[in-house]
Amino acid sequence: MAETVTISGRTSPGPGPGLLASLDPLLREWLPRQRWFAGKGRPVTGFTLVAATELLPLDGALGLYHLLVRAHQSPAPGDCYQLLIGVREALPPRLAPALIGHVEEGPLAGHTVYEALYDPRPAEVLLEALRTQARIGGLRFERAPDAPEIGPGLSPRLMTAEQSNSSVVYGDTYILKLLRRIVPGTNPDLELPLALALEGCPRVPAPTAWLRAEFADEPYVLGVLQPFVQGAADGWELALSELSKGEDFGAEARSLGRATAEVHVALARALPTMTLGHAQLDLLVNGMTDRLDAAAQAVPALRPYAPGLHSAFSALANLAAEGHTWTAQRIHGDLHLGQCLHSPSGEWSLIDFEGEPSRPLAERRMPQPPVRDIAGMLRSFDYAAHSTTPAAPGWADMCRAAYCSGYAEVTGVDPRTDPVLLRAYETDKAIYEVLYEARHRPDWLPVPLSAVRRLANPAPDATI
């Protein structure tokens, strides 16, 4: 049984700068090592404090600070990060992996600071604040009006497989996703699941509660609490497992296509759509072309395929010039197998509607053709097929076809019937993958390059 916690609730305008100065040398070493740190490869040159809120006062064995800090890195402007800093005189052995360091000076001198999410008690503080809808300094812990009461005594555990954010599971009942790289504005990771909940879409867990902030007249979404899908399998891990056993994945891929379509249909009902004509398509194609040119400049292996890849975008521009139009709507924005959960009952859920974190928030919230999500999933099947030795391209082709067929069962429109648009978006995604792998995982570069070869020289009768 989790113990009762008391929340202090003081925003720290006075000790905040002194606190950050004392943590500065420790954070410079610790922050770049975190998987969710976006600025890898460039040294941190300093920090600016956006806000410091004391959640537990340091008058006992444990203190807890909520920090928003901007990490400065030349030459780009610094990103803002959400940190939960625990404070103890000494860390027990079970918290050794959470160590940030020992503070030598300032208000926390003589204490040890650590990543608080590893520690059950600070994690309980966050759930208690959500349960009681606390207001702590500039932090606002809010609950959905129709959500059930959050019961006490749910034991927390930190999930260790997160990449760009951090998640804590409470008693197999809830999961709290804390955003790490923070930008002001309306975050789609809360906006879209709330809209889908109002539409009654069962494919996305409805938000139970969330954490917002208001600092310097700018709104931030900091975290979202949703029901935990107990026993669910991550789509990526499930696909790899089935591949390793030589099992067919067609039924699961078809079901996932239907789930994707249901989410798209619900989003189109819930939020405005728009028509993309010649002018809008010109902007879209220009962006794709610019990304190709930049990637070819950075990755020499891409250059031989650049003319063929350009043809994918010019073909789309030609259709637009002839008067073709497309509908754009709100979409997931970063859809792949790892963003999908397969429940023990066989149902798929879509999660993580944040979009690609590297893109500006305004861009992530723009209506886009649903085929962008579809292209992302098709590329994900291809990645899974190339994760085995030997690769299984036939498996990927089967999954891609089943997924598109499942999508058509709901919408009445098979994505393969618009091959020019689909090829353009899949090409854009593959180019992004080439650049990412060249920079971060060179051993994986052959995977998107194999797709680049296919997309640059498609077979005359190819549809996907």
CA distance 250 to 256: 10
pLDDT exceeds cutoff 50 at 460: yes
246 with 380, same domain: the answer is: yes
CB 160 within 8 Å of CB 218: no
CATH number, domain at 260?
Answer: 3.90.1200.10
- Helix or strand (DSSP H, E) at 403: helix 393-411
Whole-angstrom CA distances from 312 to 284, 393, 404, 416 are 13, 22, 20, 15
Tell me which of 183, 202, 227 is where a domain ends.
Answer: 227
Share of the chain above pLDDT 70, in %: 95
CA distance 155 to 140: 23
Q: What's the structural domain count of the chain?
A: 2
- Domain span at residue 133? 10-227
Is residue 12 classed as helix, strand or coil in its secondary structure? coil
Tell me which of 166, 194, 227 is where a domain ends.
Answer: 227
Return the pLDDT at 164: 85
CA distance 24 to 254: 50
CB 77 within 8 Å of CB 45: no
Tokens of 182: 């923070």
Tokens of 464: 């996907």
The 135-136 sheet, strands edge to edge? 135-136, 139-143, 209-215, 218-227, 174-179, 165-170, 156-158
Q: Mean pLDDT across the stretch 378-392?
A: 92
* Span 426-445, pLDDT tens digits: 999 999 999 999 988 999 99
pLDDT exceeds cutoff 70 at 1: no
350 with 438, same domain: the answer is: yes
pLDDT classification of 76: cutoffs 50, 70, 90: confident
Half-sphere exposure of 82 (CA within 13 A, CB side): 21
CA distance 145 to 59: 35
pTM given for the model: 0.91
Return the pLDDT at 462: 58
274 with 218, same domain: the answer is: no
427 with 300, same domain: the answer is: yes
194 with 300, same domain: the answer is: no
Return the pLDDT at 3: 34
pLDDT exceeds cutoff 70 at 162: no
Give strand pairing partners of 176.
168, 225
Q: Mean pLDDT across the stretch 199-220?
A: 93
Q: Mean pLDDT across the stretch 115-130?
A: 96
Tell me which of 227, 254, 280 is where a domain ends.
Answer: 227
CB 27 within 8 Å of CB 100: yes
pLDDT exceeds cutoff 60 at 6: no
Rounded to the nearest integer, the mean pLDDT of the chain is 92
Q: How many Cβ atoms sit within 10 Å of the Cβ of residue 184?
A: 17
Residues listed for the chain: 464
Does residue 203 lie within any of the structural domains? Answer: yes
Does residue 4 lie within any of the structural domains? Answer: no
Does residue 292 lie within any of the structural domains? Answer: yes
pLDDT exceeds cutoff 90 at 63: yes
Return the pLDDT at 41: 80
pLDDT classification of 213: cutoffs 50, 70, 90: very high
* Span 221-245, pLDDT tens digits: 999 999 999 999 999 999 999 999 9
Q: Mean pLDDT across the stretch 92-118?
A: 96
Q: Mean pLDDT across the stretch 290-318?
A: 97
pLDDT exceeds cutoff 90 at 290: yes
